[in-house]
């Protein structure tokens, strides 16, 4: 794959100014890996979203976070009856609240999840794909059960924000975790970044 110098330069600049909160274990990917991931996401959400197949993003499994699952389960939840449920403890103004997510195992389920996210894309303004902010990293770290690894991007869809984490599978990048982030105006309670937080996420058999 040919990576443009402009994209590489932009990503390098984003890495330089991105703030990672103290206590958050965050592993950066190479500029090449981030560029490849960005190209995949642009193809699905920016370039020509109505005609893009989701095959390049489908992997071994896609974790659907509580924000996104809460939005989509009423419309496509019947397609996920055989998928493992997951429970997250989500920081809110009222403290930690347990919320349900899902693990899309089959290619069909993963494609449904990507299609739902694509359906959220407004005609105007065009979606923006960027690195996660410090507040967004802090939120992700509070609910996940793993160290955060790039490629990790936030897709801005008007007033909506989707967090998208890809993972290396062999020589390619596939979807690993997706979520709908809370509204920017919602107050967030300070969260504990200790090891204890990891007990709050679990996948049910």
Tens digits of residue pLDDT in 32-80? 999 999 999 998 888 876 666 788 999 999 999 999 999 999 999 899 9
| Tokens coding 124 | 């105007």
Tens digits of residue pLDDT in 173-184? 999 999 999 886
How confident is the prediction for the chain on average, in pLDDT? 82
At 191, which helix (H) or strand (E)? Answer: none
| CA distances to 8, 115, 149, 154 from 181, in Å | 26, 18, 18, 9
Percent above pLDDT 90 for the chain: 58
Contact 128, 155 (CB under 8 A): yes
Q: What is the mean pLDDT of residues 79-96?
A: 89
- Strand order, beta sheet including 202-203: 128-130, 152-157, 160-169, 172-180, 62-64, 95-104, 85-92, 202-203
Contact 139, 182 (CB under 8 A): yes
Closest residue by Cα to residue 164 from 148, 174, 153, 180: 153
Q: What is the mean pLDDT of residues 138-165?
A: 93
Closest residue by Cα to residue 138 from 12, 43, 23, 11: 23
Could you tell me which residues come within 8 angstroms of residue 144 by beta carbon, excluding any fewer than 6 positions away?
Answer: 177, 201
pLDDT of residue 188: 44
Q: Model-level pTM? A: 0.82
Percent above pLDDT 70 for the chain: 79
User: Could you tell me the pLDDT band of residue 8, with boundaries at 50, 70 and 90?
Assistant: very low
pLDDT of residue 49: 66
Residue 42 has, within 13 A of its CA and on its CB side, a CA count of: 10
pLDDT higher at 33 or 122: 33
Q: Is the pLDDT of residue 127 over 50?
A: yes
pLDDT of residue 39: 93
| Burial (CB count within 10 angstroms: exposed 0-12, middle 13-18, buried 19+), residue 128 | middle
User: Could you tell me the pLDDT band of residue 158, with boundaries at 50, 70 and 90?
Assistant: confident
Q: Which of 66-75, 122-131, 168-177, 186-195 bottoms out in mean pLDDT, i.e. has the lowest?
A: 186-195
Closest residue by Cα to residue 45 from 110, 127, 104: 127
| Burial (CB count within 10 angstroms: exposed 0-12, middle 13-18, buried 19+), residue 187 | exposed
pLDDT higher at 48 or 110: 110
Closest residue by Cα to residue 86 from 200, 174, 165: 200
């Amino acid at each position: 794959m040919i990576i443009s110098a402009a994209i590489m330069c932009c990503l390098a600049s984003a890495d330089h100014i991105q703030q990672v909160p103290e206590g958050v274990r965050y592993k950066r990917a190479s500029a090449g890996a981030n560029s490849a991931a960005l190209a995949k996401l642009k193809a699905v959400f920016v370039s020509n979203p109505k005609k893009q197949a989701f095959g390049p993003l489908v992997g071994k499994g896609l974790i659907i976070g509580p924000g996104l699952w809460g939005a989509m389960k009423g419309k496509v939840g019947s397609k996920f009856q055989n998928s493992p449920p997951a429970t997250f403890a989500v920081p809110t103004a009222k403290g930690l609240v347990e919320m349900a997510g899902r693990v899309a195992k089959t290619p069909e389920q993963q494609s449904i999840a990507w299609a739902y996210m694509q359906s959220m894309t407004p005609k105007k303004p065009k979606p923006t794909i960027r690195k996660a902010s410090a507040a967004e990293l802090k939120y992700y770290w509070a609910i996940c059960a793993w160290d955060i690894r790039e490629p990790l991007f936030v897709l801005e869809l008007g007033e909506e924000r989707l967090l998208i984490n890809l993972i290396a599978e062999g020589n390619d990048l596939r979807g690993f975790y997706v979520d709908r982030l809370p509204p920017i105006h919602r107050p967030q309670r300070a969260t504990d970044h200790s090891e204890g937080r990891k007990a709050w996420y679990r996948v049910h058999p």
